Amino acid sequence: AALLAVGAFGFPMLQASGFTPPGLWSDFRFASWGLLFGLVGVIAAAVLAAACRPQRGAALLLGAAGVVLVRLLSLPLNHTIAPGVTAGRGLLVAIVCLVALVVAAGMAGGLAHREATALPTRRR
């Protein structure tokens, strides 16, 4: 999911003739800082979730999924910027990243549930 986040935030979410979306690798401008902070947040949450307890890891992954969801919402919210707006390359990558984060959060939540409901071992 962390690798997919690079594509989700690096590729443009929408394309239109005569419109250049802000980017991380080209046309870096003020709006690109938001993309950069979102990317760093998602990568940090994905890396930290692997080192956390399952409940906290699931919460981190769901938070990162929320950040990617906000990125996905930029397409319907910005469709009136220019005439003829279409989906960019980042849309598919962001959808796959969102699915990967939600699946990973579900796996961590399942592990947390299994740990919480496990029978305690008897100590001597």
pLDDT per position as a tens digit, 73-118: 988 887 777 778 888 888 999 999 999 999 999 999 998 888 888 7
CB 46 within 8 A of CB 59: no
Q: What is this structure's pTM?
A: 0.86
Handedness of CA 99, 96, 79, 21 (dihedral sign): positive
Rounded-to-integer distance, Cα 87 and Cα 64, Å: 22
